């Protein structure tokens, strides 16, 4: 058993304290985990210890370097004598005083060393008994498969081992079991490392939440929230706690928990869960469960579901592997009927196509997902690797995707009779409740102008795809797009026509504000293009993307200015969110395989409709939840790397398939014509399986790419 530090926030000074999450490599019984928690909590300087029995993890809050060292020493004593305690490099205050503890083991090499160096020294009788005892689990596994009516690879392995024992060929049986065991260790190690990496990369980090205290909303760290507190959640935000709705109603997307993509209505009395996301509305949740444990439990469940989303090619090869088993038995039977030579017939059982086909493909998929996570690409299931390779049409949302996720207010323009600074102050007051980049830009501009925007308004209503509305001193105030203000609210904006044309020519987005049906003013949002955007689009075309389309709610002049700068020849302007989804659906219906990239609440229908939905890490929680691929770095370069990863993974899978067929066919012919004896044929077959498995685990992307934590 080993303990691994999977995440740590180091001590920030003498009194700052730190925290680290530690996970066990083996499942720990709840009683043992609680015993460890109690022992750690009793140490001087350990402020709090939280145990999560579901994943076997401990979250330790420590006061200083000394208490951290005591905790690690206790865990090392609790672990097995031959274990590995992996500790990432420390940084920050106190780092130099903390010891680097690392005990490296070689579990994967122990069976091999024993077989080569220890086994020959044992008496023959001992070797025979050990071989038979080791064979029992393999034989039982095959028998169980037969009893359930399945003729699978397990049956074939049991038959090959059992036949070798009957022939008293203990060397072949032992070698076969050794190589099968090494293959299992290899798969388990890859799966564990992959799922651990993916769990960390997909975890949603919620630092602060809005608490309702004495009818006022206060922003506090999530760690301070306790059962019974009232948490306010608005559209576009992730629900950070388990609890019950006590005020308001809204649509909640529970895809991360139930897999159902459509939002469900949650009102007073309904339960909501951490890890789900608000699509529309506003709710106040009375907290039942809170903390990293709840969050981690949902993420782990999601990871397990994601692993079940196998690539189509993986499913095909696994079915093909099982289909090859009856063929192998039939061929062995045919050889026996023709030659009446049991040894020659048994040799056929030692060479088959199933093992390599069934092992190498999932290893390639898991390794690719893990490699993607290291490079800032979180792929939520093997099927999306295949889809990344197959897509031929690339659809971008403009704002926050092709443009930087931190737009800025370039100019504030007031309508005649109104003050621009006052308009900006009120806008910031309304927009601060919403996570969209444009809203953040307005709030940031007000802060730069030193404008105080206390809560003077009534409850803010989010009008999906349009803007926000509220009541201020008895007057209706609306902030949103031109379509919302002019078409839905009937406000005349013609008094600013000249300014609107001037700003549009500069490629800026406009946010309007009205009060009681009169235009107050507008802010021009400068949305700088991502510096890598044109390079990424060109690279995606080189990688086989045939069509690139940009979608935006901006007017045509603004959209054309952006498209021309990026070399995009096809775009749709002045569209609503439902239009984005309809456009993607039309492309899919016409036979295109669509990759959609977006970041906002209004992009989620289109992300769901596409073959592959990609969200940016600096987008809204909802977009990140709905997307199939998450770029965890604020750069579009991950899009190119994801496409390359999909292409190269599928290429390697097909290459392994061809190699398996070729080599095993040669070995099979060798056994049929007695060129190869059973032991060498079994060795060559299993070495081929290990070789294609190791090949599947090789790096897919160029080694020059930096890791996500670099």
Q: Three-class SS of residue 25? A: coil
pLDDT at position 577 is 64
Q: How far apart are the first and last CA of the chain?
A: 28
Distance separating alpha carbons of residues 272 and 643, to the nearest angstrom: 36
CB 396 within 8 A of CB 550: yes
CB 486 within 8 A of CB 474: no
pLDDT at position 304 is 44
Catalytic residue numbers, as ranges? 397
pLDDT at 16 exceeding the cut of 70: no
pLDDT at 612 exceeding the cut of 60: yes
pLDDT at 299 exceeding the cut of 50: no
User: Which letter, b or e, does each residue of 380-405 get, where b requires 16 or more Cβ atoms within 10 Å of its Cβ?
Assistant: bbbbbbbbbbbbebbbbbbbbbbbbb
Question: Rounded to 5 degrees, what are φ and ψ at 230?
Answer: -110, 115
State mean pLDDT over 476-502.
89
Confidence of residue 80 (pLDDT cuts 50, 70, 90): very low
The residue ranges of every structural domain in the chain are 3-97, 120-198+308-365+646-697, 377-403+532-644, 408-526
Average pLDDT of the chain to the nearest whole number: 76
Higher pLDDT, 258 or 229: 229
For residue 289, count other CB atoms closer than 10 A to its CB: 13
**Partners of 221 in beta bridges:** 208
pLDDT at 708 exceeding the cut of 50: no
DSSP state string for 53-108: TTTTEEEEEESSHHHHHHHHHHHHHHS-SS---B-PPP-STTGGGS--------TT
pLDDT at 183 exceeding the cut of 80: no
Task: Report, at the CATH architecture level, how domain 408-526 is classified.
Answer: 3-Layer(aba) Sandwich (3.40)
Task: Report, at the CATH architecture level, how domain 3-97 is classified.
Answer: 2-Layer Sandwich (3.30)
Confidence of residue 428 (pLDDT cuts 50, 70, 90): confident
For residue 69, count other CB atoms closer than 10 A to its CB: 16
**342-349 and 678-697 helices, crossing angle to 10°:** 0
State mean pLDDT over 657-683.
76
**Partners of 613 in beta bridges:** 596
Handedness of CA 144, 137, 335, 659 (dihedral sign): positive
For residue 4, count other CB atoms closer than 10 A to its CB: 18
Distance separating alpha carbons of residues 20 and 94, to the nearest angstrom: 15
CATH topology of domain 377-403+532-644: Rossmann fold (3.40.50)
Give tens-digit pLDDT for 509-547.
789 999 989 999 999 988 788 889 999 999 999 999 999
CB 242 within 8 A of CB 280: no
**Partners of 51 in beta bridges:** 58
pLDDT at position 395 is 95
Q: How many CA atoms lie within 13 A of 459 on its CB side?
A: 14
State mean pLDDT over 678-692.
74
Distance separating alpha carbons of residues 656 and 680, to the nearest angstrom: 21
pLDDT at 91 exceeding the cut of 50: no
Which ranges constitute the DSSP H helices of 550-634?
556-566, 577-589, 604-609, 621-626
Distance separating alpha carbons of residues 459 and 56, to the nearest angstrom: 43
**Partners of 477 in beta bridges:** 470, 515
Q: Three-class SS of residue 151? A: coil
pTM: 0.54
**Partners of 21 in beta bridges:** 7, 59
**Partners of 709 in beta bridges:** none
Highest-confidence range of 229-233, 400-404, 559-563, 676-680, by mean pLDDT? 229-233
> Please, which residues have CB within 8 angstroms of residue 396's CB and are 6 or more apart in sequence?
402, 548, 549, 550, 551, 568, 597, 598
Give tens-digit pLDDT for 448-473.
888 875 555 556 666 655 678 888 77
State mean pLDDT over 492-503.
91
Highest-confidence range of 145-149, 259-263, 570-574, by mean pLDDT? 570-574
For residue 446, count other CB atoms closer than 10 A to its CB: 23
pLDDT at 424 exceeding the cut of 80: yes
**354-374 and 153-166 helices, crossing angle to 10°:** 130
């Amino acid at each position: 058993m080993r303990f691994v530090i999977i995440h740590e926030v180091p001590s920030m000074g003498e009194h700052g304290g730190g925290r680290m999450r530690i996970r066990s490599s083996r499942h720990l019984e709840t009683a043992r985990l609680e015993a460890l928690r109690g022992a750690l909590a009793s140490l001087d300087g350990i402020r709090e210890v939280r145990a999560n029995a579901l994943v076997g993890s401990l979250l330790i809050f420590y006061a200083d370097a000394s208490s951290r060292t005591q905790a690690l020493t206790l865990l090392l004593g609790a672990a097995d004598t031959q274990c590995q305690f992996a500790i990432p490099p420390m940084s920050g205050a106190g780092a130099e005083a903390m010891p680097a503890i690392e005990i490296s083991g070689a579990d994967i090499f122990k069976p091999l060393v024993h077989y080569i160096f220890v086994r020959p020294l044992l008496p023959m009788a001992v070797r025979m008994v050990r071989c038979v005892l080791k064979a029992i689990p393999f034989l039982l596994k095959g028998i169980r498969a037969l009893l359930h009516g399945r003729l699978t690879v397990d049956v074939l392995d049991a038959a090959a081992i059992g036949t070798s024992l009957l022939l008293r060929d203990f060397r072949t049986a032992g070698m076969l079991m050794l190589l099968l065991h090494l293959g299992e260790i290899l798969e388990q190690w890859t799966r564990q490392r992959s799922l651990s990496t993916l769990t960390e990369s997909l975890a949603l980090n919620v630092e602060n939440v809005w608490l309702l205290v004495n009818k006022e909303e206060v922003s506090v760290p999530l760690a301070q929230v306790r059962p019974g507190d009232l948490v306010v959640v608005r559209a576009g935000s992730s629900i950070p706690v388990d609890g019950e709705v006590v005020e308001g109603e809204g649509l909640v997307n529970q895809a991360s928990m139930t897999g159902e993509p459509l939002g469900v209505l949650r009102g007073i009395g309904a339960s909501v869960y951490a890890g789900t996301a608000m699509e529309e509305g506003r709710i106040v949740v009375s907290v039942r469960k809170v903390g990293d444990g709840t969050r981690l439990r949902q993420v782990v469940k999601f990871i397990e579901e994601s692993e079940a989303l196998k690539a189509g090619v993986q499913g095909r090869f696994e079915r093909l592997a099982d289909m090859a088993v009856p063929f192998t038995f039939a061929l062995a039977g045919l050889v026996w009927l023709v030659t009446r030579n049991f040894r020659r017939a048994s040799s056929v059982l030692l060479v088959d196509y199933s093992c390599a086909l069934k092992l190498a493909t999932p290893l390639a998929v898991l390794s690719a997902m893990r490699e993607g996570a290291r490079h800032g690409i979180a792929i939520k299931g093997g099927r999306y690797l295949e889809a990344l390779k197959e897509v031929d049409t690339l659809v971008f949302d403009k704002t926050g995707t092709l443009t930087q996720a931190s737009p800025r207010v370039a100019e504030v323009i007031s309508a005649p009779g109104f003050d621009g600074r006052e308009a900006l102050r009120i806008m910031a007051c309304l927009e601060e409740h919403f996570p969209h980049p444009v809203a953040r830009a307005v709030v940031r501009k007000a802060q730069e102008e030193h404008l105080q925007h206390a809560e003077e308004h009534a409850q803010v209503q989010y009008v999906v795809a349009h803007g926000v509305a509220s009541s201020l001193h008895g007057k209706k105030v609306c902030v949103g797009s031109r379509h919302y203000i002019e078409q839905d609210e009937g406000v005349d904006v013609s008094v600013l026509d000249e300014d609107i044309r001037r700003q549009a020519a500069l490629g800026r987005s406009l946010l309007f504000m009205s009060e009681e049906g009169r235009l107050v003013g507008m802010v021009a949002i400068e949305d700088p293009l991502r510096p890598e955007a044109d390079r990424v689009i060109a690279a995606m075309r080189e990688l086989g993307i045939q069509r690139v389309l940009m979608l935006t709610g901006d007017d045509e002049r603004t959209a054309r200015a952006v498209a021309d700068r990026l070399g995009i020849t096809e775009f749709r302007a002045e569209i609503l969110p439902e239009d984005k989804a309809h456009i993607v659906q039309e492309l899919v219906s016409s036979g295109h395989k669509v990759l959609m990239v977006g970041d906002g609440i209004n992009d989620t229908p289109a992300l769901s409709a596409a073959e592959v939905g990609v969200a940016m890490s600096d987008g809204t929680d909802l977009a990140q939840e709905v997307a199939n691929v998450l770029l965890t770095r604020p750069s579009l370069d991950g899009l190119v790397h994801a496409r390359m990863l999909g292409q190269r993974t599928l290429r390697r899978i097909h290459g392994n398939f061809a190699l398996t067929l070729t080599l095993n066919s040669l070995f099979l012919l060798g056994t049929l014509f007695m060129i190869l004896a059973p032991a060498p044929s079994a060795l060559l077959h299993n070495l081929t399986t290990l070789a294609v498995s190791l090949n599947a685990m090789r790096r897919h992307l160029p080694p020059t790419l930096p890791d996500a934590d670099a």
